[in-house]
Amino acid sequence: MLKNRIILAVVAVLMVVVLYTLPKVVVKNEEEAVEQHEEEEASSETEPAAEEMHKQEMPATLKPIVKELNQAWLATGGNKLQTADSLRSLYLAAGVMDSAIYFSEQLVALQPDAATWRKAGEVYYEAFGFTLNEQKQAAYGEKARGFFQKVLDAEPNAWDVKTKMAMTYVSSKTPMQGILMLREVLENDPENTEALFNLGVLSIQTGQYDKAVERFERLLEVEPQHVQGNFYLGVAFMELGKKEQARAQFERVKQLDLDPAVQATVESYLQNL
């Protein structure tokens, strides 16, 4: 019943409370970027700097350092590994996902190990969450899983990696595989907040509100100030008709995050209780 409103609320809350959600833009001109990268690989000419390819997308405050790093990247010698990693991080922070992907791949090519596989997987995972194009989402998810699997082969107990990998399956043609992976994470790491949160959200999406309450209450035992956890616990209570419990959770969210977008979203729920 509240599916559309939940989606809108997710957008509002995620924009301001998730630690890694820095200012971002939707991936633009992805086809052009892919074609350019393919041309670079096929050509023996000097490769163009990524700053030139995406200068309209990069925030002005980051352009000087990005330009300097791109010049270092194109120069002979120097620490290519560090330069690629810096460019990957900057493009990721700016939400320029095609360039972040490009330098992630360069990073892996320079040093294929668990650390660079993890970084590449996380960039593809971010791109997977950015795009609304189903084909691109599937492709990014597959690439993320490939890198995450390499990490897990080297580090079987990397539960944070397995959690992200699970979420790419949840949005694929085999969602149950992702759910089973999340459960496996909790069996081995019962206080994994990301797995608890994701399973709670999935419970809401499938109408299993009692299960959602169980997941989110457990999450808040581990991390009481988890804004999204408090919010979704309120949604689950609301759907179960437990208005007083829902009201308490929404008021809690208002105390935890003063951002106007969050305040407005929560207030809309309170008015309907």
| CATH number of the domain bearing residue 129 | 1.25.40.10
Examine the fold and report which residue of 126, 156, 189 is the final residue of a domain before the chain moves on.
Answer: 189
223 lies in some domain: yes
**Inter-residue contact 191 to 178 (CB < 8 Å):** no
**How far apart, in Å, are the Cα atoms of 141 and each of 130, 194, 195, 254?**
11, 18, 18, 34
Examine the fold and report which residue of 189, 217, 247 is the final residue of a domain before the chain moves on.
Answer: 189
pLDDT at 70: 87
Point out the residues of the chain with pLDDT beneath 50. Answer: 1-56
C-alpha closest to that of 148 among 176, 185, 123, 183: 123
Q: Where are the alpha helices (DSSP H) in the chain?
A: 3-17, 30-42, 50-53, 63-74, 80-94, 97-110, 114-130, 134-154, 159-170, 175-188, 193-205, 209-222, 227-239, 243-256, 260-271
C-alpha closest to that of 272 among 252, 251, 243, 248: 243
Classify residue 175 as exposed, middle or buried by CB count within 10 Å of its CB (0-12, 13-18, 19+): middle
Residues 250 and 160 in one domain: no
248 lies in some domain: yes
Examine the fold and report which residue of 148, 174, 189 is the final residue of a domain before the chain moves on.
Answer: 189
Range of the domain at 167: 79-189
Residues 92 and 169 in one domain: yes
pLDDT in tens, 97-147: 999 999 999 999 999 999 999 999 999 999 999 888 889 999 999 999 999
Can you tell me which residue has the tokens 């833009």? 25
Output the CA torsion 157→158→164→168 (10° steps): -60
225 lies in some domain: yes
For the chain, what is the domain count?
2
Residues 185 and 201 in one domain: no
pLDDT at 28: 34
Residues 143 and 89 in one domain: yes
